[in-house]
Homo-oligomer: A and B are copies of this chain.
Amino acid sequence: MSNNLHDKVEQRFQSVVERLSAKGRRITPQRLAILRMLISSKDHPSAEQIHLGILKEFPTTSLATVYKTITMLKEEGEVIELEFSEASNRYDGMKPEPHPHVVCSKCGVIVDPETVNLQEFMHRIASETGFVLHGHRLDFFGLCPKCRE
């Protein structure tokens, strides 16, 4: 059912709020709204997109608060950041562990392909370079079906 996704979102939302609360983070309306957007958006929004979305509900929310909240959520491991230097960074609060992304070079849409197993690579590269690895970023760039006309 289509309720499946909604239930999943709601479940994650509740559990994140509990963890934040347990760690002494204050629960504010702005934080709840930002968190909800981050968890329910499957399109990897930017800080500004989140801000615009929040303004409908809380018209006085500042962009600074959005950034501060995202920073806090990154610290808590509830959100991951996809860095872009030419464009705004994008955020994933649905699946906050490193995973592959497919990015359209034209419209900027970001989708999650089915998980690709990188464990083998991680191990091989760790032993080869002497690094202790604790994360990765794998992005594929191309044109999405819509942008191919």
Q: Give the B-binding residues of A (Cβ under 8 A).
A: 81, 83-86, 89, 100, 102, 104-105, 111, 113-114, 116, 121-122, 124-126, 128-145, 148
Across the A-B interface, the 5 shortest Cβ-Cβ residue pairs:
A133-B142, A83-B85, A130-B145, A131-B142, A135-B141
Could you show 17 A-B contacts with beta carbons less than 8 Å apart? A83-B86, A102-B131, A113-B129, A114-B128, A116-B124, A126-B142, A130-B144, A130-B145, A131-B140, A133-B141, A134-B142, A135-B140, A135-B141, A136-B138, A136-B141, A137-B137, A137-B141
Interface majority SS (helix, strand, loop, mixed), chain A = mixed
Cα A133 to Cα B147 with chains together (Å): 12
